[in-house]
Amino acid sequence: MIDSALLSKPYMALRLYNTLSGKIEEFHPLDGNRVRMYACGPTVYDYGHIGNFRTFIAVDLLYRFLRQSGYEVRYVMNITDVDDKIIRNSARDGVSVQQYTAKYIQAFFEDSAILSIEKPKFVRATEHINAMAEFIAKLEKKGYAYRTDDGSYYFRIAKFPAYGKLSKKDFAGMTDGARVDVDEYEKDSARDFALWKAPKPGEASWDTVIGPGRPGWHIECSVMSMEELGPSFDLHAGGEDLIFPHHENEIAQSESLSGQQFARHWFHARFLLVEGQKMSKSLGNFFTIRDLVLRGHKPSSIRWLLTQVPYRNQLNFTFDGLKSAASSVEKLRNFRFRLTSSQFPAGENPAMAQLAADTIARLKSSLEDDLNTAEAQAAIFDMLRKVNTALDAGEVRQADVKPMLEAISKFEEIFGVLNDDDQSKMRGVLEWARAEGRESEISPELLEIAGSPQLTDEKITEKVSEMEAARKSRNFKSSDAIRSELTAAGIIIENTKEGVRWRRR
């Protein structure tokens, strides 16, 4: 809903829900045109799952849309490469923390690329340990942190009365000094939390100004975000599970030290469900990106599905949904191909230029409305339907193509699914599965798509022209041979009113 006060303004600003205020607010950065934002990245103890990537894609869309809106964006994401689970697993496997995490950091970069997620600036926790120790030393000096007999440090939440302001929890009456030393804990637990954990036998630790040990998870994000973006910055993002305790604790640590507001805007993506249930390994509904590609699903379908539902709404991941996502992407790709590959009569049809301009305006207003991705997708599909009808009726002219492609490219700048690089990405997953000895998980569907010869768009266009030339000179043997070759490479050839068209399967 757009209210009339906003409509009367000469421009519209992005309106985003801010967890801190509990309201939708106009988003304006502190420093003119420059946005500084931070997202909590992966904890690299395993492959990322589709829930993680729902959140990362939601932030990716925000990042892309801010830039499309003309902002210069500094976007930092951390990699949590030390936490309770990592320490435990690396000790179990008898390897160093770095050795243990290297594989999953690499996998995270690959999965992000598979899903066409644009790269933020990455920072790693293990590269900032000294800065964390210094931060804790300063907190101790100011009376916000204390050391326990074993050499651990805790944050004294009784000293920070605003504790609970993000998660809207009332912690009045909490027991001063009650402590919790695990990184993740009960939602109603008002306890002094660990900033620094003393070394345990057999576990990794670092020698620092506050003694040996390792950082707690929450301090990592406070230190890295402030180091990269300053004590006060525009936006902090993550999945909704991070609101408490992680983000509440980040606020407490950072604001106690700086005396300034930490992040001004808090952006949280809602948790994803799978077939209506919470995703969990024990329910057998736990999927990594690679699991889905191994079953033969295209990266573009996965990305589409994960963007389909606005970030604050419940996204229910289903295999039916994945199939229909594939068909939506294919419709859009065909639509663009139809526009770029057909011949149109000279001239223009003003209705088409108007439609393109309206679509661009609708894309912008949908995304400005708390990133309403569903509405933006509806806008592009409305245009597709209307233009396809006009195309069938022969009402599209040469000059109409450019504004139409412009609307599509505005859409693509945000959604990133039209460029067809699925096959090479799937081939990468296929090779990974073979190298990891996971052949048994490779589906015939994946083999069919990834295993067919790889032809570039130019090569295909060239072959289609050759095929047409052969057919016109009645050399059917040759034209049939080219057609079979293209089919084997996963290319579908269609004869349409506007001529021969091709697309990838």
By CB under 6 A, name the binding residues for ligand AMP: 40, 42-43, 51-52, 54-55, 80, 238-239, 241-242, 269, 271-272, 279
Sign of CA dihedral 313, 314, 320, 325: positive
Closer residue to ligand AMP, CB minimum distance, 36 or 54? 54
User: Which of Zn ion, ligand AMP, none binds 391 (CB below 5-8 Å, type-dependent)?
Assistant: none
Q: Give me the residue label for tokens 């500094």.
A: 74
Shortest Cβ distance from residue 117 to Zn ion (Å)? Answer: 18
User: Which of Zn ion, ligand AMP, none binds 269 (CB below 5-8 Å, type-dependent)?
Assistant: ligand AMP
| End-to-end Cα distance, the chain | 40
Q: How far is CA 67 from CA 60, 71, 75, in A?
A: 11, 5, 11
Shortest Cβ distance from residue 214 to ligand AMP (Å)? Answer: 17
Shortest Cβ distance from residue 74 to Zn ion (Å)? Answer: 17
Q: How far is CA 251 from CA 193, 223, 233, in A?
A: 13, 11, 12
User: Which of ligand AMP, Zn ion, none binds 253 (CB below 5-8 Å, type-dependent)?
Assistant: none
Closer residue to ligand AMP, CB minimum distance, 316 or 454? 316
User: Which of Zn ion, ligand AMP, none binds 272 (CB below 5-8 Å, type-dependent)?
Assistant: ligand AMP
**Rounded-to-integer distance, Cα 65 and Cα 356, Å:** 19
Residue in 491, 43, 24 with CA at minimum distance from that of residue 482: 491
Closer residue to Zn ion, CB minimum distance, 251 or 450? 251
**Rounded-to-integer distance, Cα 129 and Cα 135, Å:** 10
Count CB atoms within 10 A of the CB of residue 354. Answer: 11
Closer residue to ligand AMP, CB minimum distance, 29 or 239? 239
Shortest Cβ distance from residue 46 to ligand AMP (Å)? Answer: 8
The reply to whether 62 sits near Zn ion by the rule CB under 5 A is: no
**Rounded-to-integer distance, Cα 34 and Cα 32, Å:** 6
Count CB atoms within 10 A of the CB of residue 250. Answer: 27
Shortest Cβ distance from residue 237 to ligand AMP (Å)? Answer: 8
Closer residue to ligand AMP, CB minimum distance, 239 or 299? 239
Q: Between residue 237 and residue 266, which ones bind Zn ion under the rule CB under 5 A?
A: none
User: Which of ligand AMP, Zn ion, none binds 274 (CB below 5-8 Å, type-dependent)?
Assistant: none
Cα–chain center distance at 365: 21
The reply to whether 40 sits near Zn ion by the rule CB under 5 A is: yes
Shortest Cβ distance from residue 269 to ligand AMP (Å)? Answer: 6
Closer residue to Zn ion, CB minimum distance, 215 or 299? 215
Shortest Cβ distance from residue 272 to ligand AMP (Å)? Answer: 4
Closer residue to ligand AMP, CB minimum distance, 237 or 404? 237
Closer residue to ligand AMP, CB minimum distance, 12 or 279? 279
The reply to whether 269 sits near Zn ion by the rule CB under 5 A is: no
3-state secondary structure 113-163: HHCCCCCCEEEEHHHHHHHHHHHHHHHHHCCCEEECCCCCEEECHHHCCCC
Residue in 443, 341, 353 with CA at minimum distance from that of residue 395: 353
Non-local (6+) Cβ contacts of 130 within 8 A are 208, 209
Helix (H, G, I), strand (E, B) or coil at 268: strand
Closer residue to ligand AMP, CB minimum distance, 40 or 407? 40
Non-local (6+) Cβ contacts of 186 within 8 A are none
Q: Which secondary structure element, helix H or strand E, spans residue 207, and what is its range?
A: strand 206-208
Q: Between residue 202 and residue 221, which ones bind Zn ion under the rule CB under 5 A?
A: 221
Shortest Cβ distance from residue 273 to ligand AMP (Å)? Answer: 8
CB closest to ligand AMP, residue no: 239
User: Which of ligand AMP, Zn ion, none binds 43 (CB below 5-8 Å, type-dependent)?
Assistant: ligand AMP
User: Which of Zn ion, ligand AMP, none binds 35 (CB below 5-8 Å, type-dependent)?
Assistant: none
Shortest Cβ distance from residue 246 to Zn ion (Å)? Answer: 6
User: Which of Zn ion, ligand AMP, none binds 279 (CB below 5-8 Å, type-dependent)?
Assistant: ligand AMP
Structure tokens at 40: 């909590």
3-state secondary structure 213-243: EEECHHHHHHHHHHHHHCCCEEEEEEEHHHH
Closer residue to Zn ion, CB minimum distance, 35 or 40? 40
User: Which of Zn ion, ligand AMP, none binds 221 (CB below 5-8 Å, type-dependent)?
Assistant: Zn ion
Shortest Cβ distance from residue 454 to ligand AMP (Å)? Answer: 33
- In our burial notation (b when 16+ CB lie closer than 10 A, e otherwise), range 421-452 reads ebbebbbbbbeebeeeeeeeebeeebeebbeb
Shortest Cβ distance from residue 119 to ligand AMP (Å)? Answer: 16
Closer residue to Zn ion, CB minimum distance, 104 or 337? 104
Residues that bind Zn ion (CB under 5 A): 40, 221
